[in-house]
Amino acid sequence: MQNVEWGEFRYKSIFNKIVQGRRLKKDDQISGDIPFVMAGTTNAGVVNYISNPVAIFPKNSITVDIFGNVFYRDYDFGAGDDTGVYWNNEKEYSKETMLFFAVSMEKSLFGKFSFGKKLRSSQSFDFKIQLPIKNGKIDFEFMESFIAEMEAERIAELEAERIAKLEAYLLATGLKDYTLTAEEQQVLEDFENGIIEFREFRIGELFEINSYKKRFDANKVVISEIGKPYVVRTSLNNGVRGYINEDEQYLNEGNTISFGQDTATMFYQEKPYFTGDKIKIVKSKDNDFNKLNGLFFISAMTKSFSSFTWGGSSFNVKIIENQLMKLPTQNKQPNYTIMETFISAIQKLVIKEVVLYADRKIAATKTVVNK
């Protein structure tokens, strides 16, 4: 936009209608389908949907509230008395032009109004905004093409973001796609229909409960972006507070479950890690233990501790070992294959939902752009 020529224009030269909204108390608002706009940025200022606004303002308008927040409206709406409405019923401005106006207006008003200094539409007739010009007149063609280009770029960004997220999820889970296999579909149906046999196991039957090799004080370690995972009792980020660089002889084994003793937070730890205070290392006695079935074990263990209140007590080794959990079985032994297939199916369903959400977001953006 460096080669664009600009000119200043008064609001009243652009809009022949500059009016304040009409007051309507919340208790007097009757539920309906007409958007009712008031001051604020949440949901673009739409605070309710009603059937009885004092006045209905036309679509292809711009609202400016008492704090200088600006929004383009492509629908009919009502507005409270803390919001000004700007439009022109003699000139048919395109949506792209009105969006450009809105951006320019917001830029010119930014930081000028607050609770102590509120804006009323009647004050703004002679306010000025900068617009692109050609031969001394507003360059509508430039504004329309500029907004159209920006909208196209936004759609392209969303589509690129969708692809990047999908690739990241698939990489993190080790999956090639999110299509359920016949086996995964069957396991889901079997779970839903309750035909899978379950049995209770003591955690100590299947796992060793070990102490950390060394406790690293959270107030003394240096958190870094590189190093080995530092696992604490947080429920966030897989229990990893960050990364530290310490003597690796004190690393705890990977392919284990970290267990917070007074939070009952459990996470599968794929790689060797250091720990903070009150973390137990839960190591499987079975060589078939891996990330997929490990996630199932964590789900079963978490459920078994679900009655626990955070901070209510601290679980010692004996309590953890004797805690019962329900697992799918075959020949009275844990069925690792079913557990892995089930977790794989759940991961795919979650990824699919994320992808579908992204698709809906892109479709909604295209719908708005093409109106």
Q: What is the pLDDT of residue 71?
A: 95
Mean pLDDT value across residues 104-112: 91
> Where are the chain's structural domains?
6-138, 147-178+350-369, 182-339
Displacement of CA 356 from its chain's centroid (Å): 14
Q: Does domain 182-339 have CATH number 3.40.50.300?
A: no
- Calpha distance 360→94 (Å, rounded): 26
Euclidean distance between CA atoms 79 and 121, whole angstroms: 13
Reference 121, options 19, 5, 32; nearest CA is 19
| Residue 234, pLDDT score | 83
What DSSP string describes 279-316?
EEEEEESSTT--HHHHHHHHHHHHHHTTTPPTTS----
User: Quick one: average pLDDT of 27-52?
Assistant: 93
User: Are 6-138 and 182-339 in the same CATH fold?
Assistant: yes
pLDDT tens by residue, 291-334 = 989 999 999 998 888 766 555 556 888 989 999 999 999 989 99
First to last CA, the chain: 26
| Model-wide pTM > 0.85 | no
Whether the per-residue pLDDT at 169 is higher than 80: the answer is: no
362 has a pLDDT exceeding 70: no
Q: 């296999």: which residue's tokens?
A: 181
> Which superfamily, per CATH, for 6-138?
DNA methylase specificity domains (3.90.220.20)
Q: Which two tokens stand for residue 27?
A: 């208790």
CA nearest 263: which of 254, 250, 276?
A: 276
Q: Please tell me the distance from the alpha carbon of residue 345 to that of residue 187, in angstroms, as a whole number.
A: 8
pLDDT of amino acid 70: 95
Window from 134-138, 177-181, 195-199, 214-218 with minimum mean pLDDT? 177-181
Supply the mean pLDDT for the chain. 87
Percent of the chain with pLDDT over 70: 85
Segment 249-270 shows an average pLDDT of 92
- Rounded Cα distance between 205 and 317, Å, is 13
pLDDT computed for residue 153 by the predictor: 72
Residue 235 pLDDT: 81
Report whether pLDDT(178) > 80.
no
Confidence at residue 305, expressed as pLDDT on a 0 to 100 scale: 85
pLDDT digits (tens, 9 = 90+) for 145-164: 888 777 767 666 766 666 66
